[in-house]
Amino acid sequence: MSPDPGCKVDATIDQYGLETADPRHESLDDGLLARWTGASGHSESGYRTLTEWFNKRLLKRVYDEHGRGALDAQIDADYEALTAGDELVREETIERLSAAGIDGEQLLDDMVSWGTMRTHLNECLDGSKEQSSARTDWEQNSIDVARDVLIENVDEALTSLANKGELDGTTMSTVEVQIHLRCDECPTRVPLAVALERGYVCDQHSDTTASTRTHS
């Protein structure tokens, strides 16, 4: 199936002239498929990992065009700043890029989401791969049980606070729990679902075996 000309991934590739730097692949799309499926000697990657890889390629391309040479560490730091939830950090990064002649707002807008990457791989490129069965059900069941117990305990505490008149509106609210993983070596903090999707907690310290688990 030929790529959809309306697909944002291919539109971004065309707009910025993104090309593969890997001799194993004829195009960036071929490289994306190979990384997704684990072909041509690549480790199998998830949608979020590929989205991050693609967007960083875009960032590096723009930097090169503007003579803003940057090491991978700088690309990683700027990408994190642009896509993190801290609005102040994002605005400061966009201002620094603007001083270098780079439209940070446009660059951020041209980056793709993991949902767009998923659609691109499955529909535009007609890709497919076997679902991994390496992770058994007991791990997810254990996580679900722990989350349910936590929610139940919080619900009981909220009911008690409401009965004491110390907290209003508990009957019209729902307790939500999301598990995050935090790297011990740097400030990186990601939802568990994201870590499972991409296969690691922190890209920079992916070989680190220990991580601190937190609830929010």
What tens digit of pLDDT does each residue of 98-149 get? 998 999 999 999 999 888 898 999 899 888 876 554 444 677 777 877 877 8
Query: What 8-state DSSP symbol labels residue 213?
Result: E
Distance between CA atoms of residues 161 and 170, nearest Å: 9
CB 168 within 8 A of CB 200: no
Confidence class for position 178, pLDDT limits 50, 70, 90: confident
Its pTM stands at: 0.60
Question: Which strands, in side-by-side order, build the sheet including 179-183?
Answer: 189-191, 179-183, 211-215
Centroid of chain to Cα 152: 30
Q: What's residue 102's pLDDT?
A: 93
